[in-house]
């Protein structure tokens, strides 16, 4: 028996063993775009769970043996096709090689993420600068992560709202029915970023909804915090200001102020989009 007939089977078996991937090994590239579900955990007495969609894009480059990771997150309000979104850049994303924990933080960004990469998915917690810990998130390349049962999708600001007004000031006699239409658009900002701009119209109905007996005024100024959901609207005419909270499922409860009188009433509107 010569060398080849004696050792060739063993050599072939060894080569086959080396070519076989180790069970459980993560071979998929880190970089790429991950479809993400951001969960909002209930706060206080509010029992409702909310969620919103996002995309997480991770970029990698190796410089002299050092792996550098950067990322961007697009937070979407509404469904996947919505044009209502905020984008955040994270130029430096540290990764713990032992645990594969990723930390997405950057000065000036309203949101941050701490997650662990395992088997092609990233899971962890996310935070906002105004509210602290918001909840958990999951991100995958191959599919949209599972949505918790009973969770409600965060609605867009864009839409049509309708409801009632209650006068609380003796000198105020504003109409008791009103509707509000809001539209968000993407506008360029400094540094090549994009901001959401809100515009719209407010209608006071003296008659029934759908009648021609209404007074309409454009919204001259709109400010909205996407994390605590606080919305301020100022009308172009009549000196009316609305200040309140637009809930994730589209209810707008606010105080009504009039120039020269202060607080004159309250409104409760619901989304009819």
Question: Quick one: pLDDT at residue 28?
Answer: 74
Q: Which residue has the higher pLDDT, 222 or 21?
A: 222
State the total domains in the chain.
Answer: 2
* Domain identity same for 99 and 164: no
Residue 140's CATH number: 2.40.128.120
On the question of pLDDT at 140 being above 50, the answer is: yes
Domain boundary among 98, 128, 153: 153
Domain boundary among 103, 135, 153: 153
Lowest model confidence (mean pLDDT) among 37-46, 88-97, 246-255: 37-46
* Domain identity same for 48 and 85: yes
- Alpha carbons 45 and 24: distance in angstroms, whole number: 43
Token pair, residue 75, equals 């937070």
* Domain identity same for 163 and 267: yes
Does a structural domain hold residue 14?
Answer: no
Phi, psi of 179 (to 5 degrees): -135, 155
- What digits encode the pLDDT tens for the residues 147-203? 988 899 999 999 999 999 999 999 999 999 999 999 999 877 665 566 788 999 999
* Residue in the structure block whose two tokens are 């994009």: 194
- Alpha carbons 108 and 219: distance in angstroms, whole number: 28
CA end-to-end distance (rounded Å), the chain: 84
* Domain identity same for 31 and 134: yes
- What digits encode the pLDDT tens for the residues 202-257? 999 999 998 999 999 999 999 998 878 899 999 999 999 999 999 988 999 999 99
144-172 per-residue burial string, b: 16 or more CB within 10 A, e: under 16? ebeeeeeeebbbbbbbebbbebeeeeeeb
Residues belonging to the chain: 273
Three-state DSSP class for 222?
A: strand
* Domain identity same for 40 and 139: yes
* Domain identity same for 51 and 165: no
Q: Which residue has the higher pLDDT, 140 or 23?
A: 140
* Domain identity same for 140 and 38: yes
Q: What is the DSSP string of 150-218?
A: T-EEPPPS-EEEEEEEEE-STT----SEEEEEEEEEEEE-GGG-EEEEEEEEEEEESS-TTSS-EEEEE
Question: Quick one: pLDDT at residue 196?
Answer: 83
Range of the domain at 143: 27-153
* Domain identity same for 181 and 261: yes
Domain boundary among 153, 178, 204: 153
* Domain identity same for 37 and 91: yes
Does a structural domain hold residue 223?
Answer: yes
Does a structural domain hold residue 141?
Answer: yes
Q: Residues 107-117: what's their mean pLDDT?
A: 93
Residue 214's CATH number: 2.40.128.620
Answer yes or no: are the C-beta atoms of 267 and 178 closer than 8 Å: yes
Q: Residues 82-108: what's their mean pLDDT?
A: 93
């Amino acid at each position: 028996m010569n060398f080849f007939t004696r050792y060739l089977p063993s050599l072939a078996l060894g080569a086959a063993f080396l070519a076989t991937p180790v069970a459980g090994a993560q071979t998929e590239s880190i970089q790429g775009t991950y479809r993400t579900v951001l969960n909002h955990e209930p706060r206080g007495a509010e029992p409702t769970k909310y969620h919103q969609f996002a995309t997480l894009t991770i970029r990698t480059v190796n410089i002299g043996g050092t792996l550098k990771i950067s990322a961007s997150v697009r937070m979407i309000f509404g469904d996947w096709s919505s044009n209502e979104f905020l984008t955040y850049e994270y130029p430096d994303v540290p990764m713990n090689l032992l645990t594969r924990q990723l930390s997405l933080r950057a000065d000036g960004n309203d949101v941050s993420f701490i997650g662990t990469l395992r088997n092609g998915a990233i899971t962890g917690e996310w935070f906002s600068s105004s509210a602290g810990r918001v909840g958990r998130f999951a991100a995958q390349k191959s599919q949209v992560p599972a949505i918790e049962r009973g969770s409600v999708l965060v609605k867009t600001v864009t839409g049509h709202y309708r409801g009632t007004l209650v006068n609380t000031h003796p000198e105020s006699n504003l109409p008791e029915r009103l509707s509000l239409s809001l539209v968000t658009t993407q506008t360029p900002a400094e540094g090549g970023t994009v901001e959401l701009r809100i515009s719209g119209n407010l209608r006071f109905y003296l008659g029934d909804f759908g009648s021609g007996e209404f007074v309409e005024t454009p919204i001259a100024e709109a400010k909205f915090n996407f994390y605590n959901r606080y919305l301020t609207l100022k009308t172009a005419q009549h000196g009316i200001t609305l200040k309140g909270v637009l809930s994730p499922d589209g209810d707008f409860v606010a105080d009504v102020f009039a120039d020269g009188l202060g607080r004159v009433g309250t409104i409760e509107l619901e989304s009819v989009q």
